[in-house]
Structure 1
Amino acid sequence: METLPQLPEDIIVNILSRLPVKYLIQLKCVSKPWLSLISDPQFAKLHLAQSKKKSISQRVLLITVPLESAACEASGDDLDDESKLIFELEYPVAMKKTPDSDELVGWLDLGGSCDGLICVVFEHERIFLWNPTIREALELAKLRPFDRCGMFSYGLGYNSSTDDYKVVRVARPIFTVASNETEVEVLELKTNIWRRIQGLQSGIEIEGEGIFLHGALHWLASRQTGPKKIYIIVAFHMIEEKFYELVPIPDNIKETKHDLLILGISGDCLCLFDGCSYETVLEAWQLKEYGVKSSWTRLFSVHRETLHGPGCSVQYWEYALCYTKTGKVVIDYDGRELVWYDPKEKTSKTFTPCNDRDCFLPAIYIESLVSPHCCYATNRHNDKDV
């Protein structure tokens, strides 16, 4: 019997780097050389680069019990087939109170995602980097307590100059936004040490998770100018470690609707979702040209009745999570349901997770092979679920 000729290694690497993560995880079992190749951090970078060229699809992690992941780009028959739309995952052992339970170690907050890694914070003290796709998690150095009652915002991004990931925490007292009382701390994964840096300009207040794009973290922020509050996008440069104002929000957004502005991303553009439980319209805007206010473009405007039917009574908040490359918007209906809405077709599909809690917490991420251990200085505090 004739044997198939062996392909050169560089061709094998090129072929494998173009496959979805779920197949690569299975192919680790083919042989020890393939296991070594697919587990290599350099291969993970190559695979991530190939995925980004193809405009990698986003997923939404539904943090509840059971833990579930849904495909943001789902369309057509996939929206009617839950086996294709959503699947269950497991929490890392280190995040559980006991190895055999799904009860988590404390109250959970999210710090954004980058390259398939999700930043998860418990009680503003314990912090993890977690790749749910490859089931790896790493506990980082504990955060220092904030000695006042505070508001916290987090962000996770990548520093291309040092090939390292950074976590940023912004903490401020609830009743003031004075720059000398706002604390900004940064952790570089290679050192695993928190250090204080210069804070925000006085009068600026940020909220939500940081969105990583174009080498910077971005937050929705507000600045008090006399009696008027102005809403802006604030960025944090990952290399220079400095905050700067990127752009104001679109002029067309009414000030009365500021209570539910959500910053998101679509491809390589920032998005702004504007809606409120007391309003009848949900809108989405895209910053077509990075840093240019005049490039804000409205993507769609939809009445609540289109989403929920005529005569509906909207009882809960709606959070637009992302605008997909196929032109759909994924909406979190108050942590109770996910809605895929198509503005062109004016159709929607609703999914209700079967969870043991009142609601879920959503985290947008991509599937990747990037390990949280890739840049870590030592193997202290490791938890690796494979």
Structure 2
Amino acid sequence: MSVVPTDVITGILSRLPVKNLVRFKCVSKPQLGGATSVALNYKFRSFFQNFWSCNGLLAISHDEAGIALWSPSTKECHYPPKLTIGDMYDEIILGFGYDVINNDYKVVQMLSSGKLVMIYILKAKSWKRIKDCPYEITFHVLQDGAYANGSVHWVGIENDKDDDARVIFGLDIGIEEFHQLPGPESDISYKNFGYRSVGILGGSLCVFRDIYHQDNIVLWVMKEYGVRESWTEDFYVSRDECWQWCMYYTRAISYSRRGDRVLLDDGGRPRQPAWLNLDKRTREVVDIPGAPKHFNAIIFVESLASVLP
């Protein structure tokens, strides 16, 4: 009896939907023990504060229940030990991403002041503390970390500097070090401007920029990571065209297939996501029947990535 070559089998399987591939997956009972289950904790199902997507995995946080790492495709779920840092008055900043150096997933948790930076390492199933962050994330630009190029990114200010001097910075979760990214060249001439929420658009890092006392808000996209000259002004929205959205929290989620629209999300505020037509300067609300009053929108792509340590 002839044997089908491994590369042929791999090629066939690579063309199957994830839900079909899951049928071939075998998991022993011992592997399902410990902190892993096939269903989310009831607290996570009821309401959660933040969530992130990376390689088909979701990281979900809840004030009481802690953090859950979940694969909707394989139904696996892992609960890192709950970590308490700061006190009830401290703002907690979180992030989630893939460590390309060690082929691992990591969760970042720190105070908005940049102090007490903790990283959860999935393979080790443990938290570790790294050096403090040299940037502070101010209250009005609190946001979920955006993962790109092996780093999780936020907008902040350098410690002990004026609040207007906002910068874009990242944490390389492979080498566990912070770094600052160059902003758009045209922004250097402005003293009073502020970066708002950072996100990922079309696979590239993006950020909203608001120049105080001017009448427009610009979305910049970094086409080549770390290169100042690669920043591209994707579109601008006048304050009259903002439709009274709170631009402190608005994030760009995705381009449409034809590239003529951008999906915007208001960061869980009581407004539905909306398509911004780049040519007509119009907004089209995305109607989701049965959706709750407050929810976030993210991009999710199915995969067989596992949350089992």
TM-score scaled by length of structure 1: 0.64
Q: Indicate whether 1:197 and 2:130 are aligned.
A: yes
Q: Deviations over 1:224-276 (max 9, x none)?
A: 66546311111112222111212235544966663x71111134421112469
Matching residue of 2:63: 123
Cα deviation, 1:341-368, whole Å, max 9, x if unaligned, reads 2314655432122336322123333222
Q: Deviation digits for residues 143-190 of structure 1, max 9, x if unmatched?
A: 134246211111112222321111111114xxxx4x6xx110011101
1:26 aligns with 2:15: no
Quick one: distance in 2 between partners of 1:131 and 1:255? 44
More helix by share: 1
**What residue identity is the alignment partner of 1:24?**
V
Give unmatched runs, 5+ long, in structure 2.
28-37
How far apart, CA to CA, are the structure 2 residues paired with 1:336 and 1:188?
Answer: 35
Q: Which amino acid counterpart does residue 81 of structure 2 have in structure 1?
A: A
- In structure 2, the CA distance between the partners of 1:255 and 1:321, relative to structure 1 (3 Å rule), is farther
Cα 1:226–1:103 change in 2 (3 A) is: closer
Q: Which has the higher contact order (CA 8 A, sep 6+)?
A: 1
Q: 1:250 to 1:111 in 2, by over 3 A?
A: farther
* Residues 346, 8 of structure 1: alpha-carbon distance in 2 compared, 3 angstrom cutoff: farther
Amino acid at match of 1:157: G
Q: Matches of 1:264 and 1:241 in 2, distance apart? A: 20
Cα separation, partners in 2 of 1:292 and 1:221, compared to 1, 3 Å: same
Residue identity (%): 26
Mapped pair 1:95 → 2:95: no
SS of match in other structure, 1:162: coil
Contact 1:286 1:299 in 2 (8 A): yes
Does the CA contact (< 8 Å) of 2:198 and 2:205 recur in 1? yes
User: Distance between the aligned counterparts of 1:275 and 1:227, measured in 2?
Assistant: 16
> Could you state the TM-score of these two structures normalised by the residue count of structure 2?
0.78
Change (3 A) 1:218 1:350: same
- The answer to whether structure 1 residue 16 and structure 2 residue 13 are counterparts is yes
* CA apart distance, 1:315: 3.9
Alignment partner of 1:36 is 2:17: no
Is the Cα contact below 8 Å between 2:69 and 2:79 reproduced in 1? Answer: yes
| Preserved CA contact (<8 Å) 1:335 1:361 | no
- Cα distance between partner residues in 1 of 2:159 and 2:108: 24
- Unaligned regions of 5+ residues in structure 1, if any? 30-34, 40-91, 308-313, 377-386
Counterpart Cα distance in 1 of 2:127 and 2:161: 35
How many residue pairs align between the two structures? 287
